[in-house]
Amino acid sequence: MLRRLTASLTLKLVVLIGLFVALPIVLYGQFESADSQMRALVTRAIQDRSALIAEALAPVLRDTDPAAPMNMNRELEKYASSGTVLKLMYQPPAARSASRFFLVGSAPPLAPEAVSAELEELSQRGLLQRLSEACTWNAADEMRYRRADGTVELLTSIIPIRARGNCWILTTTHVASDFLNTSIGRPYWETREVRIAAAIYLVGAMLAVLVALGMRLSLRRFRNVADEIALGRAVDATFVERNTVPELAGVARDFDRLVHELRRVSREIRQSAEDNAHAFKTPLAAVQSALRPVRRAVPEDDSRARRALEIVDSSLARLLGLVNAAQRHDMGTADIIDAPRMPTELAPLVEEAARQVQEILAAREIGLVLKLERGIAVRTAAGMLEAALQAVLENAISFSPGGTAVTVSLHASTDTVELRVEDEGPGIDPEKIERLFERYFSSRPDDGIGSDRSVKHSGLGLWIVRRNVEALGGQVKVANRPSHGFSVTMVLPRFVIH
């Protein structure tokens, strides 16, 4: 069972799908965690850089008189860099309660007419209130907000600077997504790297799915060809014609070669059976013809000669029967190899077999009980299942005492069909059950029930039953019944009639 599971292509495909689903989730979690750490480091680096700029500006601000005109653009430009906006704000002591600030420097510099608009935007964003709190508590702060058009997120560090009892605020603003090319300011899945990786993954997944579907379709084509051959619809092997995968071309050729060889062997077996039967029947017929004048010439009162003629006639009849049995056996073998497997409903087949044994049942005063479910079908070649059922019925009848009954039941599950024949005879020695399917083995007693002296048994009945049933993909089970009697159960794959 374990080997079957590990060799299953379906199981491997399920595992592969599971890996395709789980792998990106695990990797995304790991990469997102690493990116979060990178964002924390970048943010801390921004804050540290702003603090260093503030430390550098502190001596200059100590020497600056707030009452005199100020233009700190030149000082800020010393520390400006591409993508970074520096602003220096000043809050007069008298304006602290009103959270008013003056913009005294900017890098890059702002035009005088743009200062009022800049302060108004800072006020609307709530930045001025945050500046006032930074002055009150002398604590650095950080704020993120989007531009008026909502497209770009800005990261602003707020650093208070104390000089000569006055509060100055240095703001350092960065476009978040551009700083060190991290995902600051946007979800991690929106980063360029993740989207490229996702696109590559999706392409790989689609290719894997296409390969799996291609293999499945190719195997299905092979199965359809095999079904057509089994049903007798394909005159010639067509695996190569139906195959579209170059890598399976060799397998298709091997299948075609195998089908060709099986058909050739089947034809040779049939031809050999016919030739052998003809070769034996011709001299037997000649002997029977030669005996006719001898039989007429022997006097009626010569009992010894008459007895000799009866023995010769009996032997000839037995030889002819053996020749016919051998011919049927060989033809059955050929049918197993090559005969079309057609969907066949079992209930009518069982009823026909029952009609054929009605005379024997009546002569031996044995009843027949049929418990059949309708609409149950299997795929079988003509005569294969009939021969098996006939052998089992004849066996059950020969071991049944008069006044008893043989029961034939037919039941089906989702995938299988059970055809059971039960008698009320003596059963069989448990030690001999394993040998019942051996060729030429017979468990019939010399006298009593089951001896059946009127028929010469060859010991091939149950062997033929198992051969035919296994050729149809089934199995045969035999067992003694708990009370008395014997049962033979044929389990076959079910064919669902649509």
Q: What is the DSSP string of 422-468?
A: E--S----GGGGGGTTSTT-----SSSTT--TTS---S-HHHHHHHH
- The pLDDT, as a whole number, for residue 472 is 87
Token duo for residue 363:
């002569």
- The pLDDT, as a whole number, for residue 489 is 93
Token duo for residue 254:
């091997």
Helix, strand, coil abundance in the chain, percent, nearest 5: 55, 15, 25
The residue with tokens 């979800």 is 187
Question: How far apart, in whole angstroms, are the C-alpha atoms of residue 356 and residue 354?
Answer: 5
- The pLDDT, as a whole number, for residue 167 is 86
User: Which residues fall within 8 angstroms of residue 326, CB to CB, at 6 or more apart?
Assistant: 273, 276, 277
- The pLDDT, as a whole number, for residue 217 is 83
Q: Do 116 and 134 contact (CB within 8 A), yes or no? A: no
**Selecting from 3.30.450.20, 3.30.980.20, 3.40.50.410, 3.40.50.2300, what CATH number does the domain 21-190 have?**
3.30.450.20
Question: How far apart, in whole angstroms, are the C-alpha atoms of residue 310 and residue 303?
Answer: 10
- The pLDDT, as a whole number, for residue 370 is 92
How is the chain split into domains, by residue range? 21-190, 264-336, 341-493
Distance of CA 261 to the CA centre of its chain: 32
- The pLDDT, as a whole number, for residue 450 is 47
- The pLDDT, as a whole number, for residue 179 is 52
- The pLDDT, as a whole number, for residue 321 is 79
- Residue type (1 letter), 88: L
Question: How far apart, in whole angstroms, are the C-alpha atoms of residue 204 and residue 191?
Answer: 20
Question: How far apart, in whole angstroms, are the C-alpha atoms of residue 85 and residue 82?
Answer: 8
Q: What is the 8-class DSSP label of residue 366? A: -
- The pLDDT, as a whole number, for residue 454 is 47
pLDDT in tens, the chain (498 residues): 566 666 666 777 777 777 777 777 777 777 777 777 777 777 788 788 888 888 888 888 888 877 776 778 888 888 887 778 888 888 887 766 667 788 888 888 888 888 888 778 777 777 778 888 888 777 777 777 666 665 556 778 888 888 877 888 888 887 655 554 555 555 666 677 777 888 888 888 888 888 878 878 888 888 887 777 766 665 665 787 777 778 778 888 888 888 888 888 888 888 888 888 888 888 888 888 888 888 888 888 888 888 888 888 888 888 887 888 788 778 878 877 777 788 889 999 999 999 998 988 998 899 999 999 998 999 888 788 888 898 899 888 888 888 899 999 999 988 899 999 999 888 888 888 888 877 766 665 555 454 454 444 455 678 888 888 888 889 999 889 888 889 999 999 998 765
Question: How far apart, in whole angstroms, are the C-alpha atoms of residue 461 and residue 393?
Answer: 10
Yes or no: domain 341-493 corresponds to CATH 3.30.565.10:
yes
Question: How far apart, in whole angstroms, are the C-alpha atoms of residue 280 and residue 260?
Answer: 30
Question: How far apart, in whole angstroms, are the C-alpha atoms of residue 15 and residue 19?
Answer: 6
- ∠ CA 436-439-442, rounded to 5°: 50
For residue 350, give the nearest of 368, 323, 334, 326 by alpha carbon: 368
For residue 452, give the nearest of 442, 462, 460 by alpha carbon: 442
Backbone angles phi, psi at 318, to 5 degrees: -65, -40
Q: What is the CATH number of domain 264-336?
A: 1.10.287
